[in-house]
Structure 1
């Protein structure tokens, strides 16, 4: 741990502590993900602070493990290149940006569903609110069930910021060879990042039944990461921050 840069180390510690805190809270009947996860802006459970807190909540051990593994593997390299302040700003801005993209995509889903519903049905969903979701209540109208899910589900995880870290590594070290299981040969970091982006785009557009992964939040983190790096690159051209 002593060899891990300060910000990376503290991000690892905070995320692990929050995950453990979630488990302890669950034993007392408290759902921290419900309070700190990112809800849709029209939900009565939404607050602006969730754009930050959702990044430090995770849905399970594998979720937090693989996110933090990526932060450790790639984040420490970015922090060593950029320094702690710039790396922390990058992580937080991209994480918030991922949340904003997720809100925008959810808004499209919400208004698409709402457009085919009667005002009475919409009002019924709002009146039931989160109680319907918590009690596993089944709406007779599938559109009502979908709208209720949109309104009362939450997004959790650092994946948006993590995908921004992957994007950052690919832009700073585009030709760095990487071994990716199960490929028997190395690929360059830039192709690794492009591949992940295409997979997330396809998965998001496919919108498969039962897929509860926020693919557009991942893409949102990468988009904000790209814009931020390009801004820094133009502003600080020639200062030694960027490598090929």
Structure 2
């Protein structure tokens, strides 16, 4: 089930969301044009290695600096085009409305906070892992948590491939994001039972980021912007272009 479009109009241009997408894309393009050895060194040094944090923590000056910096730099590194495009597409669909409610500066702080919290949860549950963790998934999961809290009844158009044919459905955000969360929870539970990361995905970073975003999003929006007042009754038609014209 692939999200294609939500139908919540926004009132401001999503400066931070677009900037994050551009920055992540530029960094990835730069990385893929580097020699493989240099690319691997970047991932090791600027990605989050749980064992490096649990072994050295944040006490020793040199290692502490590297560990702290990696909590942020890892959010801007991706392992492949599918990894990048999946994250950026999700951020584009759901991030603009959350940014609209929070405001640009608060949204950026919220995004980074969710990313750091998601990473630390992954480190806590996989303390001995020597596999570098990279990607914006934890931060974007926090955005999904905020969207879930702010727009639970907003409609999302999703595409479901059935026998190689695309079918499009319109469902409430609460169903799409709820389905996504249960998938993460199931895979994350398997990773704990097996004692290793299933499929090379940091599932608990997704789960943790989502929960952090869900519970903290109201601290980042002000007054009436936190109320669920954006949803029109079902059966009322939208113009898809309206989202971008308001």
What interval of TM-score do these two structures reach, taking the shorter chain for normalisation?
A: 0.7 to 0.9
Q: Name the counterpart of 2:121.
A: 101
Which region of structure 1 is more displaced relative to structure 2, 166-175 or 214-223?
166-175
Q: What residue is the counterpart of 1:70 in the other structure? A: 90
Contact 2:156 2:173 in 1 (8 A): yes
1:223 aligns with 211
Higher strand fraction (1 or 2): 2
Is residue 215 of structure 2 the alignment partner of residue 240 of structure 1? no
- Contact preservation (8 Å) 2:159, 2:169: no
Partner of residue 83, structure 1: 103
Q: Which moved more, 1:88-97 or 1:189-198?
A: 189-198
Cross-structure match for 2:77: 57
Tell me if the contact between 2:48 and 2:134 (Cα under 8 Å) persists in the aligned partners. Answer: yes
SS in 1 for 2:158: coil
Q: 1:20 maps to what in 2?
A: 29
Distance in 2 separating the partners of 1:28 and 1:34: 11
Q: How many positions carry a matched residue from both structures?
A: 197
CA drift of 1:184 comes to 5.2
Larger Rg: 1
2:158 corresponds to 1:180: yes
Decide which moves more: 191-200 or 50-59.
191-200
Q: 1:78 to 1:226 in 2, by over 3 A?
A: same
Counterpart secondary structure, 1:187 = strand
Q: Where does the alignment leave 5 or more consecutive residues of structure 2 unmatched? A: 1-11, 57-62, 161-166, 230-246
Give the distance between the partners of 2:19 and 2:187, measured in 1 at CA: 32
Structure 2 match to 1:11: 20
The residue that corresponds to 2:45 in the other structure is 35
| Structure 1 spans left out of the alignment, 5+ residues | 111-149
Looking at structure 1, the residues matched to 119 and 137 of structure 2 have their Cα atoms a distance apart, in angstroms, of: 10
Contact residue 159 and residue 218 of structure 1 kept, 8 A: yes
Who is 1:206 aligned against? 190
Q: Distance in 2 between matches of 1:184 and 1:18?
A: 33
Q: Bigger shift: 187-196 or 211-220?
A: 187-196
Higher relative contact order (CA 8 A, sep 6+): 2
Alpha-carbon RMSD: 2.3
Distance verdict in 2 for CA 1:22–1:72, change over 3 Å: same
- For residues 66 and 197 of structure 1, what CA distance do their matches in structure 2 show? 16
Normalising by structure 1, we get a TM-score of: 0.73
Runs of 4 or more, structure 1, over 6 Å off, are none
Change (3 A) 1:161 1:30: closer
